Amino acid sequence: MTPNAPTLAPTAPVDDRIRQVSLMRKLMARPEFGALAGTLLVFFMFAFSAGGSGMFNPEGIINWSTVAAYLGVLAVGAALLMIAGEFDLSVGSMIGFAGMLLAIPALYWGWPISASVVFAFTVAMCLGWLNGWLVVRTGLPSFIVTLAFFFILRGLSLAVSVIFTGRTILSSNGDLVLRDMINQDPVIAFLFNGYTLTGLFNSLAQAGILAARDDGTALATGIPKAVVWWIGLTAAGAFLLARTKWGNWIQAVGGDANAAKNVGIPVAKVKVSLFVLMAFCSTVFAVLQVADAGSAAADRGLQKEFEAIIAAVIGGCLLTGGYGSVIGAAFGALIFGMVQIGIGYTSIDNNWYRVFLGLMLLIAVLFNNYIRSRFAAGRR
């Protein structure tokens, strides 16, 4: 080396915390990105194939958003539970059972409808607590415990309804009509029945902006209460997950329950509370359905547990826990609603609906696995 040769200073390693990341990479790192992309794909697919059929008129939008809302209510609880690393397969049976818990006291025991609704929520949430307690206490997989409750609750719904009423579908008993009882209670009707913003929709119809009936009221009556519940629960769940200590605990428990316990996180309390939340969401679904149909049936909620899990997986939730999004689960439910109703606006056979959902599930799992493995490799 010559005496006057310059010495080069060693290059400092680039800190990953200040490394520039492209917008696309940031988006792909979000768990809900796949669900958002899938929603846009489905939207444009039906806009092309059924754009002039009325699917995207206000009435059509309300139709498929209502279907999405019912599933979206369940998807909130399912997503949070899956992020914590657990499943609840008793959801569908809980819906039917909660409906009977509402209808039997109101129609056969002389209870006010408000007391019947509170009774349904209380018993269902206690059963949700029992589900979670058994999972935590025994260490058994939640798949097994909740599968057992799936059969127990379905059997109880059928057996109890026959014992007390002799029927499995309840809508009236003499002069008592379930729909009228719900409509006559201002609190229950406000929370679970009918539409909101009806006056605004009628004003828009009178101004010629929306389609109107002969009497001048809007053909699209308003925003269904199921949609309001869906939006409210999704917003609350997203805030809980992203902005609160409890949300951090949920993700930590799903990532590694033992490590979370070692740093002082109340793992058992977190898991049990999420099973209670899942029971609450199931009962909201049941009460909304009873209010809409005017009846309760012991066999309601068939396969809803699988649809809720599929919506959560499409929304970015991993089956292994520790990762996911409530917003993504809402998009997953929206895909369900658009496909289920949208097929009816096309010439496609309705039997293809389940095929499409299965393909969406498979694509979502493969996409989420690819994104996770790619980013895990990038951090090594």
User: What's the chain's average pLDDT?
Assistant: 88
- 335 vs 365, which has greater pLDDT? 335
* Interatomic CA distance for residues 375 and 95, integer angstroms: 39
Instruction: Label residue 268 exposed, middle or buried (CB < 10 Å: 0-12, 13-18, 19+).
Output: middle
Closest listed residue to residue 132, CA positions, set 267, 270, 275 = 275
Q: What percent of the chain has pLDDT over 90?
A: 59
Which pLDDT score, from 0 to 100, does residue 54 have?
Answer: 81
- Distinct helix (H) and strand (E) counts, the chain: 16, 6
Confidence of residue 379 (pLDDT cuts 50, 70, 90): very low
Flag whether pLDDT at 259 surpasses 50.
Answer: yes
What distances in angstroms separate CA 121 from CA 124, 251, 277, 285, one per listed residue?
Answer: 5, 27, 11, 11
Q: What is the CA radius of gyration of the chain?
A: 24
Do residues 339 and 42 lie in contact, with contact meaning Cβ atoms separated by under 8 Å?
A: yes
CB burial of residue 37 (10 Å; 0-12, 13-18, 19+): middle
Two tokens at 56?
């995207």
DSSP state letter for 218: B
For the residues of 115-149, what is the DSSP string, one character each?
HHHHHHHHHHHHHHHHHHHHHHHH---HHHHHHHH
Angle value at C-alpha 251, between 247 and 257, nearest 5 degrees: 125
Q: What are phi and psi of 296, to 5 degrees?
A: -120, 145
> What count of other Cβ atoms lies within 10 Å of the Cβ of residue 249?
19
Structure tokens at 28: 């792909």
Residue 272 has pLDDT above 60, yes or no: yes
3-state secondary structure of 315: coil
**Separation between Cα atoms, residue 37 and residue 354, nearest integer Å:** 20
Confidence band (pLDDT; 50, 70, 90) for 4?
Answer: low
Query: What percent of the chain is predicted at pLDDT more than 70?
Result: 89
Number of C-alpha atoms within 13 angstroms, CB side, residue 347?
2
- Cβ count within 10 A of residue 158: 16
For 285-311, what is the mean pLDDT? Answer: 93
Q: Which pLDDT score is estimated for 377? A: 53
Kindly tell me if the per-residue pLDDT of 315 is higher than 50.
Answer: yes
| Rounded distance between C-alpha atoms, residue 230 and residue 225, angstroms | 9
Residue 203 has pLDDT above 60, yes or no: yes
Write phi, then psi, for 178 (nearest 5 degrees). -60, -45
Cα angle 352, 331, 348; round to 5: 20
**pTM for the whole structure:** 0.90
List of domains in the chain: 33-41+55-196+224-370 (1.10.3470)
Whether the per-residue pLDDT at 185 is higher than 90: the answer is: yes
Instruction: Give the pLDDT band (50/70/90) at residue 104.
Output: very high
Q: Is the pLDDT of residue 225 over 50?
A: yes
